[in-house]
Amino acid sequence: MKTTDKKNTTSVKRGVTKPKSNAAAGLTELFEESLKDLYWAEKALTKALPVMAKNATSEELIAAINNHLVETEEHVSRLEKVFELIGKKPTAKKCDAMEGLIEEGKGILEETEIGVVRDAGIIAASQKIEHYEIATYGTLRQFAETLGLEEAATLLEQTLDEEKGADKILTEVAVNAVNLEAAEAE
């Protein structure tokens, strides 16, 4: 059985997901849809990070979260510049992955007592978010390079570097203080 659309012909196989009618058919469309997803994710983080900071007790962790909030606000602005560069209006499309990661972070708050153990949980949840962002920014930077969107690639690379930096700071806070204190609290 064959299905045909305007852009390509493919064999229908069992277990293969049928694309939606508005599915991306090219790398440019995939890039644009992924930008919308990431835009939603970053905007959601501007709301989630203050909650994490408010629930943290480690001064180093609070500072790391608050510093990353400032960076995240800049990430939103940078994504708006990328949209502008490709001639598109900044539009957010719900990011299921980020929604899940934020919900997991809320769950950690509910499942831990206030103090160093919660701080360790906040770091764990935050690093999952950072790793998702690192993977996504790396992918989008590469898409931009492949599509010849050098200025967009540069903006995405700048954010990628900041996400890696945030992850490194979280690791340092965990290894040098929070995890040790949490273990001692046993």
List per-block mean pLDDT (blocks of 10 residues) for the chain, which spans 186 residues: 50 76 83 97 98 97 97 98 97 97 97 95 97 98 98 98 98 94 86
List the domain boundaries for the chain.
26-184
Maximum Cα–Cα distance for the chain, whole Å?
63
Entry pTM: 0.88
Task: Indicate the CATH number for domain 26-184.
Answer: 1.20.1260.10
What sign for the dihedral angle of Cα 62, 64, 69, 70?
A: positive
**Following DSSP, what letter does each residue of 109-129 receive, concatenated?**
HHHS-TTHHHHHHHHHHHHHH
Per the CB < 8 A criterion, the answer to whether 92 and 36 are in contact is yes
Which pLDDT score, from 0 to 100, does residue 20 have? 76
Enumerate residues 6+ apart whose C-beta is below 8 A from 24.
Answer: 30, 32, 33
